């Protein structure tokens, strides 16, 4: 038996990286997983993969910045699956620029994807989650993907750090609100380090180009940054996906408003 047999989970930004890996792991534990993304081709490819467990995956297109999209997708999940048990607000983009070079349009786009989407997800998932959550003592689970950049400063990362700090504090406020309202839905955040994904690789390239760590060599930049992590290896999507499964299942049933930091010790320095 899987730890999530019979559960329905939804993962945003699931066409690749951490989102895709989290979807695979949730399905492997028995969940029916609704993958969402604006990348239709990538999302469908992930959903077509063998699950390796009792669960299954399917893809629905969702632009997380559009409220109408959220309403339509949640309605579809309720209609086809009877509700929702787990929401993983994972969709996000990055911006590595000095604030002096950051345009207002870039700031607003980053906020729309990284912050507005989390608000919309929590708001519109509630009707689909509450009845099912109240039927089990451990309740439902909302998992918001923040970052170590939401806890500590990162070079040329003011705007991105702001969005991830916002997710961190939104999570805590939602946890209190949902508990007080009796929804029985837990809300926790995950704070990965610089996971080995295309997004992280683009950040390394920018840091190398700007000499942020005293060198313009890409491999040297990567080694310097990885060595800032006490475990001295680059984080993999699976490291984060395992944390998603833990927060989704009953093993974390007495956790809400918590920060699960999965970063190889980066923020301890």
Catalytically annotated residue among 160, 183, 204, 254? 160
Overall size of the chain counted in residues: 269
Sheet holding 259-262, edge to edge: 56-61, 32-37, 8-11, 86-89, 140-145, 185-192, 259-262
3-state secondary structure of 143: strand
How many angstroms separate the CA atoms of 90 and 75, rounded? 20
Q: Is the dihedral of CA 192, 193, 195, 201 positive or negative?
A: positive
Q: CA triplet 36, 42, 46: central angle to 5 degrees? A: 75
Q: Under DSSP, is residue 87 helix (H, G, I), strand (E, B) or coil?
A: strand
Burial 115-144 (b: 16+ CB within 10 A, else e): bbbbebbbebbbebbbebbeeeebbbbbbb
**Catalytic site includes residue 160:** yes
Q: Which residues are CB-contacts of 245 (< 8 A; sequence separation ≥ 6)?
A: 3, 4, 22, 25, 26, 29
Q: Which residues are catalytic?
A: 160
């Amino acid at each position: 038996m899987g730890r999530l047999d019979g559960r329905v989970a939804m993962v945003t930004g699931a066409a690749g990286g951490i989102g895709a890996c989290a979807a695979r792991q949730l399905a492997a534990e028995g969940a029916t997983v609704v993958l969402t993304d604006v990348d239709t081709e990538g999302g469908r490819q992930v959903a077509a993969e063998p699950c390796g467990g009792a669960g299954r995956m399917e893809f629905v297109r969702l632009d997380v910045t559009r409220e109408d999209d959220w309403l339509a997708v949640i309605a579809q999940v309720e209609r086809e699956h009877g509700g929702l048990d787990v929401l993983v607000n994972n969709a996000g983009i990055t911006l590595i620029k000095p604030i002096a070079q950051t345009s207002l349009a870039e700031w607003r786009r980053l906020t729309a994807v990284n912050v507005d989407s989390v608000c919309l997800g929590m708001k519109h998932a509630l009707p689909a989650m509450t009845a099912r959550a109240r039927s089990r003592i451990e309740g439902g689970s909302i998992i918001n993907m923040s970052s170590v950049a939401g806890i500590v400063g990162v070079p040329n990362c003011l705007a991105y750090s702001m969005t991830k700090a916002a997710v961190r504090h939104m999570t805590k406020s939602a946890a209190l609100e949902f508990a007080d309202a009796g929804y029985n839905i837990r809300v926790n955040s995950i704070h990965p380090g610089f996971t080995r994904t295309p997004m992280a690789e683009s950040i390394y390239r920018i840091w190398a180009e700007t000499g942020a760590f005293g060198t313009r060599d890409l491999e040297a930049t990567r080694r310097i940054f990885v060595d800032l992590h006490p475990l001295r290896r680059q984080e993999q999507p699976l490291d984060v996906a395992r944390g998603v499964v833990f927060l989704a299942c009953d093993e974390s049933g007495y956790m809400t408003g918590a920060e699960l930091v999965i970063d190889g010790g980066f923020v301890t320095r």
